Structure 1
Amino acid sequence: MVHNYKKLIFLPVLLALILFSNIAFANVVQDQDNQILTLNLEESIERGWQQNSSLQQMKAQLNAAKAGVSKAEAALRPGLDLNSSYTRFEEIPFGSTSKDNFNHSISFNYLLYQKPAKLQIEQSTYSWKKLKKKYEAQKNNLAYSITQRYYKVLEAQNVVKVTEESLKQVNEHLKTTKAHFEAGTALKTDVLQTKVRKSEMEEKLLQVKNNLELAKVRLKNLLEVDGNKELKLAEAIKVPDVDLSLQEVLDYALNNRADLMATKYEVKKASQGIELAETKDDPSLVFTGKSKKSGSDAIPDGDAWSATVNMKWSLYDGGESDSGVKQAKENLVAAKATLHQQEQAIDLEVREKFLNLEVNRKQILTAQERIEIAKENLRLAELRYREGVATNTEVIDAQVALTDARNTYQERVFDYNVSQAGLLKSIGFSYLSLHNSELELSKLN
């Protein structure tokens, strides 16, 4: 009985330990899963748009500017004020029957002459639209930066893969040289030379792996991801080809780029600012209606009302208005100069991106041919070495040439995709905004 009693006590303890172990193990697995972040290019851009502090700061400024428009519009609407007061006197005032005095009034205010207020609304609206376009431009710039770093990670991953394959190739060649040396058909220097090559490849593998980690760190930093998280990227996504002529991309950029549109709104604001400055000397005309009750009771019987039209007109301000108009005109000149300068800069950027894309496209074909040549050269070098008519140096040189050719090809492929993204950005699109946009460009595949 005692033995069975001990079993009954031990059983719940054992179950509790098993349950605790399972929970602990589940938490470990969950923590491990949470430490891995898998993203494709679209998800990376979306995350960047949501997490980037600078973008969120500008978004808050944009919302504040929109609220500023509503605030300016409120000046055109009538105002209604309620005022109530209670006074207790030490002595009964002359002509009154009570020490208590209540006053209640309600007043109605309406701006009769509204032109300056309407112009101020337009000023606020231009400011909001300008900031909205700048926000769109910053989103596109961020998306392009993310695309660049995303492809840098993919490129670094491929360089690691190529280097690992090259190291494997060197190890196979080392086996061959050792076999030839043991058979007396190769010198010991061949074995030593191949070992040196192996050591170089192992060192290079360490370096390219480090480069991969640095590329991931830079991408995580841009996405504002916890540096301790492991980042895994999906396979490379081909950025859509821009099948447009140079003139077509130039025309589109100069008519649609968000940052240029922002500057155009600044020109409109400056132009309208002259008219606003000219109205500073205009009279102000306000209607006020008021109803008032007063007496010794909380709800007095006495009632009175009044209606007032108030006009205020500045006859002389010491030249302030004239100076304001002159300042507004100079602001317009400066805004137009800024617009022209920006148009020139965009023209140059689009031309550079377009020409670089053409170069990158041709470089891919050249790099691909170079790989095929390097493969054949290595095959022949290894064959001649086995037959004893080629030196070990020739084989190693051929291996180096093939590794370089593969890495160059990977670099050219990723450069081409980044160039495509760069051209899209130069005309006012990002990879993601292109796919999410309602605007369809028939020649953008």
Structure 2
Amino acid sequence: MLRRVINPFLLLPLTLSTNTFNVLSSETKNYIDNVLEEKLNITFVDYQEIEKLVLNNQELKSLQNLVASASFNLSSQIAKRYPSLDFQANGLPKYVAGKKYNSSSPTLKTSQFTANPSLNIKWDLIAPLRGSEIKIAKTNYKIAENNYEIKKKDLIQEARIRYHKYKKSYQDIQNKKFTLNLSTTSLKNAKAKLDAGIGTKFEVLEAEAQLSRDQQSLNEKKIEHEINKISLKEILNVKGDLETNKEQNLIGFWNHKLKKNIDEGLDKNLSLKNLIFQTSIKKSQAESFLAQNRPNIYISNSLSSTFSKGDSLATKIDSEKSGSNYTNTISLNFAWSIFDGGQNKNSYKSKIADAESEKYVYENLKNVLTTSISKAYLNLKLNEEKIISSLKEIESSKESVRLTRLRYDVGISTLKDVLVRQSELSTAKSKNINAIYSYNLNIDELERLTFLDKSKNCLNSNNTKIKDAESICNL
């Protein structure tokens, strides 16, 4: 009966309250939304395209050059296996003119053009340092390749984190808009009841304060959304504006057991492989110190020649006179640094000790990786439960809001109760958004750490589909 009395009075203040809200919304749009409206050269980014777009990252391009540098250095070291050929010419040509006077002999004159080209060949047959230098260069090249792959995978994971954060912030905006609409309705009802004489000014003020808080919260989420967009554009090196699919969905399912995750992660981790390579480099450097006390054997061949035209030290210059000669010398050479006071031996021991220290770094990194994989796996399972429980909480909160509004309409509940239930519903929606966001991050993290792939189907240990209605598989 009381509800029938209230409803006619609700129509009277409707226009006034609507205009008030429109003014607030218009002011807010001019201040916030207009700042975010400018869009240029829109690029659509999908989750599947992130890996390709990451290749445009400037930092990754820099590492590509480091890989090329390591490749050229390896080629340079391998070239030491082959003979070297040097050409040299002293005066090409050279002209000599002069006189030699002696009181007891005729004056001698010189006017002559000469050229003295030479060709030298050297080939190291036994070069103790050469093998270590080539081995170190090969290992450095492998490390450079691994560093590129590590950085690429790290950038892909970071880009996916920013992608999920961008989509999450959009869902946060939708949640805040939903909450704002509820607060607007509550304010209208509070004003209507006040005008009907069955409400209080305190309830109107309370509703207006809640509306203002929700509007401010919405503006904060809009700014956060724009910042997340800028962050995503930066890592993908996207010029202009960017758009994505707005829906927040589960990106896949993880059907691998914890033990398999750890085993695969430790076996394929590139950082662990790089530590093994670093140990190998230090051992090769140690061997190079010992190699300096071993004999170096090489073949050399030197071909030198002289061509001349003109006369030298003659009483009369014959400008047409010419001559030439050449000398070829081939030799097997031997060089051996027999004693250096123990310098190379101690340097060898230093590098071996340095290599031994890498074992502890290796074991520590294995422990860190095992912990990271375990945490990501367990957090994934936790977020699966959070998604399910938050969905139940949303349904319960929706019903609570509906019932509380009915109680408020008939006067057996207060506006405070309505606002509390609204806040609970908004919190439940936020929990679900955060749970899906964290779940997707855990999937990406496990892919990065274990090199395993997520699945489109949710399977149990027997590789059969799970039919449990409350399972994450059936959402």
Instruction: Give the TM-score normalised by the residue count of structure 1.
Output: 0.82
2:116 is paired with a residue whose SS is strand
Q: Is the 8 A contact 1:140 1:430 kept in 2?
A: no
Deviation, structure 1 residue 219: 2.8
Query: Which of 378, 385, 389 is the aligned partner of 1:355?
Result: 378
Residue number in structure 1 paired with 2:243: 232
Deviation, structure 1 residue 337: 2.0
Query: Which of 255, 263, 277 is the aligned partner of 1:265?
Result: 277
Query: Which of 66, 77, 81 is the aligned partner of 1:76?
Result: 81
Alignment of 1:248 with 2:255, yes or no, is no
1:65 aligned partner, one-letter code: A
1:315 is paired with a residue whose SS is coil
Deviation, structure 1 residue 414: 0.8
1:85 aligned partner, one-letter code: N
Query: Which of 195, 200, 225 is the aligned partner of 2:213?
Result: 200
Deviation, structure 1 residue 96: 11
Q: Is the 8 A contact 2:249 2:436 kept in 1?
A: no
Deviation, structure 1 residue 115: 4.3
Structure 2 unaligned spans of 5+? 1-37, 101-106, 311-321, 457-462, 465-472
Alignment of 1:322 with 2:322, yes or no, is no
Deviation, structure 1 residue 35: 4.5
Residue number in structure 1 paired with 2:294: 282
Return the alpha-carbon distance in structure 2 between the equivalents of residues 85 and 256 of structure 1.
59
Alignment of 1:167 with 2:180, yes or no, is yes
Deviation, structure 1 residue 391: 1.8
For each residue in 1:290-331, what CA deviation from the matched residue of structure 2 results, as whole angstroms up to 9, or x when unmatched?
Answer: 323312159975333221111100111121221121122112
Residue number in structure 2 paired with 1:90: 97
Residue number in structure 1 paired with 2:192: 179
Deviation, structure 1 residue 58: 2.8
Could you say if the C-alpha distance between residues 279 and 370 of structure 1 is closer, same or farther in structure 2, counting changes exceeding 3 Å? same
Could you say if the C-alpha distance between residues 70 and 92 of structure 1 is closer, same or farther in structure 2, counting changes exceeding 3 Å? farther
Aligned residue runs from structure 1 range 27-66, under 5 A: 34-53=40-59, 55-66=60-71
1:322 aligned partner, one-letter code: K
Could you say if the C-alpha distance between residues 64 and 306 of structure 1 is closer, same or farther in structure 2, counting changes exceeding 3 Å? same
Return the alpha-carbon distance in structure 1 between the equivalents of residues 307 and 110 of structure 2.
10
Structure 1 unaligned spans of 5+? 1-31, 436-441
For each residue in 1:137-159, what CA deviation from the matched residue of structure 2 results, as whole angstroms up to 9, or x when unmatched?
Answer: 12222222221122111111111
Deviation, structure 1 residue 271: 2.9
Deviation, structure 1 residue 418: 0.8
Q: Is the 8 A contact 1:144 1:430 kept in 2?
A: no
Return the alpha-carbon distance in structure 1 between the equivalents of residues 253 and 302 of structure 2.
69
1:288 is paired with a residue whose SS is strand
Could you say if the C-alpha distance between residues 336 and 174 of structure 1 is closer, same or farther in structure 2, counting changes exceeding 3 Å? same
Residue number in structure 1 paired with 2:24: none
Residue number in structure 2 paired with 1:409: 432
Return the alpha-carbon distance in structure 2 between the equivalents of residues 249 and 430 of structure 1.
11
Residue number in structure 2 paired with 1:398: 421
More displaced stretch, 199-208 vs 41-50: 41-50
Could you say if the C-alpha distance between residues 336 and 247 of structure 1 is closer, same or farther in structure 2, counting changes exceeding 3 Å? same
For each residue in 1:8-48, what CA deviation from the matched residue of structure 2 results, as whole angstroms up to 9, or x when unmatched?
Answer: xxxxxxxxxxxxxxxxxxxxxxxx77443432234444434
Q: Is the 8 A contact 1:140 1:428 kept in 2?
A: no
Return the alpha-carbon distance in structure 1 between the equivalents of residues 245 and 302 of structure 2.
70
Deviation, structure 1 residue 73: 0.5
More displaced stretch, 325-334 vs 238-247: 238-247
Deviation, structure 1 residue 160: 0.6
Return the alpha-carbon distance in structure 2 between the equivalents of residues 394 and 124 of structure 1.
72
> What's the Cα RMSD here?
3.0
Return the alpha-carbon distance in structure 2 between the equivalents of residues 312 and 57 of structure 1.
42
Q: Is the 8 A contact 1:350 1:426 kept in 2?
A: yes
Aligned residue runs from structure 1 range 97-136, under 5 A: 99-136=112-149
Deviation, structure 1 residue 70: 0.8
Could you say if the C-alpha distance between residues 212 and 232 of structure 1 is closer, same or farther in structure 2, counting changes exceeding 3 Å? same
Deviation, structure 1 residue 224: 4.8
Residue number in structure 1 paired with 2:229: 216
Could you say if the C-alpha distance between residues 193 and 291 of structure 1 is closer, same or farther in structure 2, counting changes exceeding 3 Å? same
Deviation, structure 1 residue 196: 2.1
1:292 aligned partner, one-letter code: S
For each residue in 1:380-438, what CA deviation from the matched residue of structure 2 results, as whole angstroms up to 9, or x when unmatched?
Answer: 1112222322222211111111111111111110111011111222225799xx99xxx
Work out the number of aligned pairs and report it. Answer: 402
2:330 aligned partner, one-letter code: A
1:89 is paired with a residue whose SS is strand
Could you say if the C-alpha distance between residues 251 and 219 of structure 1 is closer, same or farther in structure 2, counting changes exceeding 3 Å? same
Structure number, greater radius of gyration:
2
1:384 aligned partner, one-letter code: R
1:204 is paired with a residue whose SS is helix
1:376 aligned partner, one-letter code: E
Q: Is the 8 A contact 2:250 2:436 kept in 1?
A: no
Residue number in structure 1 paired with 2:443: 420
Return the alpha-carbon distance in structure 1 between the equivalents of residues 108 and 140 of structure 2.
58
Could you say if the C-alpha distance between residues 33 and 218 of structure 1 is closer, same or farther in structure 2, counting changes exceeding 3 Å? closer
Return the alpha-carbon distance in structure 2 between the equivalents of residues 251 and 157 of structure 1.
37
Identify, as 1 or 2, the structure richer in helix. Answer: 1
**Percent of pairs identical after alignment?**
20
Return the alpha-carbon distance in structure 2 between the equivalents of residues 61 and 210 of structure 1.
38
Deviation, structure 1 residue 122: 0.5
Residue number in structure 1 paired with 2:28: none
1:260 aligned partner, one-letter code: L
More displaced stretch, 140-149 vs 212-221: 212-221
Q: Is the 8 A contact 2:296 2:336 kept in 1?
A: yes
Q: Is the 8 A contact 2:163 2:232 kept in 1?
A: yes
2:292 is paired with a residue whose SS is helix
2:151 aligned partner, one-letter code: Q
Deviation, structure 1 residue 98: 5.6
Return the alpha-carbon distance in structure 2 between the equivalents of residues 103 and 84 of structure 1.
5
